[in-house]
Amino acid sequence: MRRVVFPTIEFAAFFLAVMAVSWWLMPRPRLWKPFMLAASYVFYGYTDPRFVLLLVASTLVNQAAACAIARRRDRRILIIAIVADLGLLGWFKYYGFFALSVDRMLDDIGLGAPLPLLQVALPVGISFFTFQALSYVIDVWRGDTRPAKLIDFAVYEAFFPHLVAGPIVRAREFIPQLASPRDRSAVPATRAVFLICGGLVKKVVLADLLARRLVDPVFDSPGQHSSVEVLVAIYAYAVQIYCDFSAYSDIAIGVALLLGFRFPDNFDRPYAATSLREFWRRWHLTLSRWLRDYVYIPLGGARRGPRRTQLNLMITMVLGGLWHGAAWTFVCWGAVHGAGLAAERSLAHRHGARDTGEASRGPWRPSRHSHGARDTGEASRGPWPVRLRGRHRPRRGEPAIPVPTEVTAVGLVAIPAPRSVGEERAPASPPVTAPALAAVVAREPAGTGRGDVAVDAVGSTSALAVGRPAAHSPEATATGRWLRRIVTFHVVCGAWVLFRSPDLATAGEIMRRLVTGGFAIGLVTPTVVAAIVVGLGLAAVPARWWTAAQVAFDRLTLPVQVLGVVGFLLAMYSFVGQQDVAPFIYFRF
């Protein structure tokens, strides 16, 4: 039941050894790759060695499929690979849920149990590595990437920093980084240290404190808590899950940086979003862009009319919910987001006609968006809901401004792939108008611009603009933005209730208690409120402060840097006292 997690002695020892050997072997890829593969398998097998076989099997099957597809483009091979991957996921993750649901249903109409009720052990991280493998095979099918060497693909799928809980890195982002040894003279140590230390604080101080002091007690027994406690616990959970999950991503990214590798970012101040659509461009980006590219767009995206688009949104979000776990709470959580996105879309539609001027009016807005995109590296590819607007907007002839910044952002993380790929692919996306397409093909450095990017960029402009009819004076802009931000945050919080509750009955009880529980303060202590405020308020800290802090850290000598890091961590651990770190929430997924 124990596993190697980031803030443990085991991981520290493991990582020091791996980091030393990795840089030592780095100039010799023939040795480095098997070493990294072995290290990752050791990391994965620490919990249960049998699971390594699963990982190896997944690697071999998908690699075989990718190679076969590259040799002869046979759709059947693709289908077999997809079925195999989903079958693996389905068996390990959903069988119990499925069998029990069938059993219940038949039980109600008086039939016996047809399916054996088995309990299948859940291999850690299976959702993550299966999705990575799927994206690889589908990308090869689409011609977006070429089959990698087996050892490269194996290292990519097993690379331990992202193996257990993401981020979901794409093959074409990672495998090119294996093409040449990482530069031993250019390790972004400061950035890595900041990410890791910041992640630890978010996890150990904020997330665990909120869970322990308020969220767990309230969600465990809502009936014994007041409305005030329930309300604050819901806010606290929003902060907790953000701090918990983004902390894991940050630490994973930081650890990868120390080994010389770059991951796309996974979060960009999600609670600053002014719409659900924007929320999904800021929350778990690597998952949402995966869903966009491999579920939403294959379903037809926004190309088949408004009704169908809304249905597609719903299907995508429900599947996204189900990805988190086999439970009706997750399904409902996805459905709430799907319905919210669909509603936003139809609202925006309605206002769309009279706000056309608005769309072309705000050049600062695309740049504001792109600043998020830029910061998150791959963000421009992540936010699939953005693409909703694509069908309607590019024709308005304003793609020129956002496209370059968006494409630039893509270049941050994505590593060069054959340019022809981008050219092949782009025409396949119907909604792209000629200028946008030209912009992508001409400017896209990473071969990732499949037209979607351009559409995204354009779409985001109008998407942001359309929903904000009051944006004509600066005051109204700020007020409107805050209003939308607050509404969005509360919708998201409401959905989190479903996400956190162990079953739907508890979620209902929480909502009931929210209005009937009275006003006792109870567990809402100043510490808890402070943690919530800090967790939310961190989004307001200007980026340049962090940059300045890093520049300042850079100028220090090594001993002073060490003292700084040690002092920081010592203070952090002293603050929380001698307690065990709770497991990361996303380990369950």
Partner 1 sequence: MQTMRMGVAGSWSVETQADGAPARPGGDLATTTDAHAARPGQDTRPVPSPRTPPADDRSPGHAGVVSARRAFALVTLSLGVLALLRTPAAVHAGEGMPPGRTRDTVLAVARPLDRVTRPLGLDRPGERLAALFGHDRADSHSELATAASREASATGSGPGGTISGGAPTAPAPVPPRIPTAGDPLRVLVTGDSLTESLGPRIVNTAPRTVRATTDTRFGTGLVRPDFFDWASHAHDQLDQEDPEAVVVALGANDGQGITLPAGAVLPAGSAGWLDEYRRRALVLLRIWTDGGTRRVYWTSLPPARSDRLDGFFRQLNGAVADAARQVPGARFLDLAPALSDHGRYSDYLRDPAGHTVQARTRDGVHLTLDGARLAAAPILAALAADFSLESPIPRQAG
Of 391 and 468, CB closest to partner 1: 468
Binding-residue pattern over the window 212 to 241 for partner 1, x denoting contact by CB under 8 A? --------xx-xx-----------------
Distance CA 519, CA 524 (A): 11
Least gap, CB of 291 to partner 1 (angstroms): 21
Binding positions for partner 1, 190-209, rule CB under 8 A: 190-195, 198, 201-202, 206
Return the residues of window 6-35 that contact partner 1 according to CB under 8 A: 8-10, 12, 15-16, 19-20, 23, 26
Q: Which residue's entry shows tokens 């409401």?
A: 494
320: tokens are 């996204």
Are 257 and 273 a contacting pair, CB within 8 Å?
Answer: no
* Minimum separation from the CB atom of position 15 to partner 1 (A): 8
Between CA 117 and CA 120, with CA 118 as vertex, the angle to 5 degrees is 150
Dist. CA 320–CA 337, nearest whole Å: 10
Site residues for partner 1, 487-546, by CB under 8 A, read 502-503, 505-506, 509, 535, 538-546
Region 347-366 residues binding partner 1, contact defined as CB under 8 A: 363-364
Q: To 10 degrees, the CA torsion angle through 553, 556, 560, 564?
A: -10
End-to-end CA distance of the chain: 16
Among 228, 351, 375, 424, binds partner 1 (CB under 8 A): 375
585 binds partner 1 (CB under 8 A): no
337 flagged as catalytic: no
Q: Rule CB under 8 A: which of 53-92 touch partner 1?
A: none
* Shortest distance (Å) from residue 515 CB to partner 1: 17
The residue range among 163-171, 189-197, 310-318, 346-354 that interacts with partner 1, by the rule CB under 8 A, is: 189-197
Q: Give me the least distance between CB of 298 and partner 1, in Å please.
A: 28
Closest distance between partner 1 and the C-beta of residue 182, in Å?
8
How many residues make up the chain in this entry? 589
Residue of 225, 324, 337, 392 marked active site: 324
Please tell me whether residue 566 adopts helix, strand or coil conformation: helix
For residue 329, the minimal CB distance to partner 1 (Å) is 11
The closest alpha carbon to 215, from 231, 237, 239, 235, belongs to 237
Nearer to partner 1, 150 or 569 (CB): 569
Chain positions 404 to 423 lying near partner 1, rule: CB under 8 A, are 404-405, 407-409, 411-413, 415-416, 419
Nearer to partner 1, 346 or 527 (CB): 527
Long-range CB contacts (< 8 A, 24+ apart) of 214-223?
214/523, 214/524, 214/528, 215/240, 215/500, 217/523, 218/510, 218/523, 219/500, 219/501, 219/502, 219/506, 219/510, 222/506, 222/509, 222/510, 222/513, 222/517, 223/509, 223/513
| Residue with token string 């987001």 | 337
- Catalytic residue positions, numbered: 324
